[in-house]
Structure 1
């Protein structure tokens, strides 16, 4: 058995960390493997990386064709690890980042190659700008005995099953967990809460909610977000929040790593910020696996913020309480206004459905409009940024703090006292010992078992999952969020 790991790039990010972990696991298990990617890694690496022209982000095919790309991949793999047979492990093949990728995968499927198609993110799931790249594909999701789909959470696996993917040809493959860095120092005893959000501030990370929490936190509490986004698409949203931090005077610092220090005399490194944090926070409205929920336990830091049942239900099934989390922050509807909300919704829905090739009907607006209201309240995390700032301005201008509620497991209580009590806790809700089931060793065992199972299968001719049925699962009204448009 030998393995080919395939991804568009190895730039810093969650998928790259998973691929690096997988490579080290395979090396430890004695499994020959190679990593194919579309661009040289940004830093020197000892991993078996080979760069294939045309394998990166590709919106203009130019001289590339699927068959040429497959030929180049096969030739590189043969030179590196021999004739095979191989298991080809693709990451995010269907995300709409390369015009040729669906045909590359289907070509290999039709040739009877053993494939793992690992889904980290989906064009169908809050990435409408990606969807036109794959909109015409009829071979995006191949099905055959020698093909397995690997999902990061049970929700995505279930929804693909509803669309026609046999459960026995899929699995949940959780990411391996290890502390992302070694904290430098520790907060002094009695330090007011220093709350760190260790992410790039892309739109779905819901930075507005950090500002809301800061506006209602006890005095002297400060919040920080580690990094700015890299992709040009997310920069305007981030820049607006950066300006808002200055204009509002709220205790929130953005893009702090290598720019400002957590206190005078300290380093501005990520490790320094991590060391001085009393808490970690998450306000994201969507994640595939949600490394941050478990990394807090690996670091011994308490986590607070927004619950994402799509990922935390798997942790709960494993006996892990991922943090002190709320399901929604509830804002009274009059703070926004129903007509204002509906106007925003209609405009956003039109853009989303246009990208997905779906018509906008009044009945669709009505269904989503009903789905985003909760007994006279709206969820702050499902408001566009300008309306989030409107709510924060109202709060800062003397709005009734007790009008803001937090919903946890169906119970509603005032946000301010819940937040004050939560920030008083300095211990995590999970322990490093509970993470053993997500360790690199456990991940290696899962990978080897998956590849061994595929090695023993007899290949068959592929059929293809109807792509529109997958899209329908993700476009249900209750799944709409302004920050995923």
Structure 2
């Protein structure tokens, strides 16, 4: 079977990692090939062809003609395989990072190409900048990476015969070094806004014995760069025990080996490899739990019950009136960009729920309001006790009873259920169904949009614009 993979780019990142693991899993049993807008420094076991018009349109500087790009892709595919491929496996096609991308793959579908569209990130899930009105391709197979997304797409009109849940594969993290030159907690992320860097910095204020927070990589996108730069400046001004971009100065296996544990504070994930990979390196993961993501892992026997679901802070620690205005404005702005109308009473009631008992989850705040909370904690050490009273686990951050047993349990479960071998078998089954079982269905974009809209988890880090 001949499988061609398509992605905007092959730069370092989550989707590129998934694509590489897919190719490594099936290359050999299948004949594989990659088409991309930017091959970057790709190290793959198969041929890669770069077609710049498949990249982000803001980077190529124009909107390419869909029919011409489709013709170029068909020409390349036919040169590789006379008669073309059996399946064109396209990653994240529904994001508006290239406004012609949907038209391009629809042209390919019209030419008889079997499409498998794998969605890692939804524009409807707090990404209004990447949302546009065009219908998503119909009558083709779709893939998602968690049970939540499968349920949402089924509700939005997809038939289960053409909807495949394919959780990402987990490989054991390489580890080198076995001691900490300086006690270190690793946050292995590319620090985009939804990773909630401010909360990781807050946690570092409660570290004991001079432990330091180590953040691995900067963001790539301009939308996240300003927030990241401001955090670096703010941390430097306040002389906090936080190190940035450690992944640019050190090999990742060495960082893993020299870290006591790993932490996550993200407010939104697609799959959540961060909840699985640390165990394979014998490291404890702690931090914020995302229920709709972690539920899948917990059903497979992975213990995450010691993670926290929210970090409560007193509302009086920030400019509550300003926060209310910004939050409401962000809600209505997002609704407008999604073409959605919502009653003011509905929004007001949601805000009242978010701030009941005069508290707010720190992860819902934008950076400006997070810094107001952090400034209070830094200025008056006595207020730490108040925060611990609201969040008792802060008294011993990163310390878990029976840590060794939890690590071994989770390592075994992660590799058993999400390892490369079961992943390969599942992917081969999906390709076989795509070739042999045509489907007729379509996504109702309005239903999809509504399914992701949850005012009770409306975080300004995800839905709002950066406000300094």
> Scaled by the length of structure 2, what TM-score is found?
0.91
Q: Deviations over 1:317-337 (max 9, x none)?
A: 111124741100111222225
Q: Deviations over 1:174-198 (max 9, x none)?
A: 1111134x2221126xx88520001
Partner of 1:339: 321
Partner of 1:4: 4
Residue 260 (structure 2) pairs with residue 278 (structure 1):
yes
What's the offset of the Cα at 1:384?
Answer: 0.7
Match of 1:402 among 385, 396, 399: 385
Partner of 1:433: 412
Match of 2:163 among 166, 170, 173: 170
What's the offset of the Cα at 1:415?
Answer: 3.6
Q: Which runs of 4+ in 1 moved over 4 A?
A: 59-63, 423-428
Partner of 2:96: 96
Partner of 1:140: 136
Find the aligned partners of 1:472 and 1:63 in 2 and give their Cα distance.
29
Question: Aligned in 2, Cα 1:388/1:424: closer, same or farther, shift over 3 Å?
Answer: farther
Question: Aligned in 2, Cα 1:254/1:360: closer, same or farther, shift over 3 Å?
Answer: farther
Find the aligned partners of 1:428 and 1:192 in 2 and give their Cα distance.
25
Q: Deviations over 1:222-253 (max 9, x none)?
A: 11101111222211100111011112222111
Residue 446 (structure 2) pairs with residue 468 (structure 1):
yes
Partner of 1:16: 16
5+ residue gaps in structure 1? 260-267, 407-411
Find the aligned partners of 2:182 and 2:306 in 1 and give their Cα distance.
18
1:37-116 equivalent positions in 2, closer than 5 A:
37-43=36-42, 45-59=44-58, 62=62, 64-84=64-84, 86-116=86-116
Question: Aligned in 2, Cα 1:402/1:443: closer, same or farther, shift over 3 Å?
Answer: same
Partner of 1:263: none
Find the aligned partners of 1:53 and 1:230 in 2 and give their Cα distance.
18
Find the aligned partners of 1:78 and 1:54 in 2 and give their Cα distance.
19
Partner of 1:231: 221
Question: Aligned in 2, Cα 1:368/1:17: closer, same or farther, shift over 3 Å?
Answer: same
Partner of 1:32: 31
What's the offset of the Cα at 1:101?
Answer: 1.3
Find the aligned partners of 2:305 and 2:229 in 1 and give their Cα distance.
29
Question: Aligned in 2, Cα 1:85/1:9: closer, same or farther, shift over 3 Å?
Answer: closer
Pairwise CA RMSD: 2.5
Find the aligned partners of 1:405 and 1:116 in 2 and give their Cα distance.
48
1:273-422 equivalent positions in 2, closer than 5 A:
273-322=255-304, 324-359=306-341, 361-398=343-380, 399-404=382-387, 413-419=391-397, 421-422=399-400
Question: Aligned in 2, Cα 1:371/1:173: closer, same or farther, shift over 3 Å?
Answer: farther
Find the aligned partners of 1:47 and 1:163 in 2 and give their Cα distance.
36
Structure 1, 437-446 or 165-174: larger mean CA deviation: 165-174
What's the offset of the Cα at 1:402?
Answer: 3.2
Question: Aligned in 2, Cα 1:109/1:372: closer, same or farther, shift over 3 Å?
Answer: farther
Question: Aligned in 2, Cα 1:203/1:304: closer, same or farther, shift over 3 Å?
Answer: same
Find the aligned partners of 1:241 and 1:474 in 2 and give their Cα distance.
29
Find the aligned partners of 1:43 and 1:25 in 2 and give their Cα distance.
16
Find the aligned partners of 1:422 and 1:192 in 2 and give their Cα distance.
21
Partner of 1:264: none
Structure 1, 77-86 or 414-423: larger mean CA deviation: 414-423
Structure 1, 334-343 or 382-391: larger mean CA deviation: 334-343
Given that residues 345 and 365 in structure 1 are in contact (C-alpha distance below 8 angstroms), is that contact kept between their aligned partners in structure 2? no
Given that residues 54 and 64 in structure 1 are in contact (C-alpha distance below 8 angstroms), is that contact kept between their aligned partners in structure 2? yes
Structure 1, 36-45 or 93-102: larger mean CA deviation: 36-45
Given that residues 302 and 323 in structure 1 are in contact (C-alpha distance below 8 angstroms), is that contact kept between their aligned partners in structure 2? no
Please state whether the residue corresponding to 1:325 is helix, strand or coil. Answer: coil
Find the aligned partners of 1:221 and 1:345 in 2 and give their Cα distance.
34
Given that residues 206 and 395 in structure 2 are in contact (C-alpha distance below 8 angstroms), is that contact kept between their aligned partners in structure 1? no
Find the aligned partners of 1:104 and 1:61 in 2 and give their Cα distance.
17
Partner of 2:466: none
What's the offset of the Cα at 1:351?
Answer: 3.4
Partner of 1:186: 178
Structure with the higher fraction of residues in helix conformation: 2
What's the offset of the Cα at 1:359?
Answer: 4.7
Given that residues 32 and 81 in structure 1 are in contact (C-alpha distance below 8 angstroms), is that contact kept between their aligned partners in structure 2? no
Residue 423 (structure 2) pairs with residue 453 (structure 1):
no
1:204-283 equivalent positions in 2, closer than 5 A:
204-259=194-249, 268-283=250-265
What's the offset of the Cα at 1:381?
Answer: 0.9
Aligned residues: 459
> Scaled by the length of structure 1, what TM-score is found?
0.88
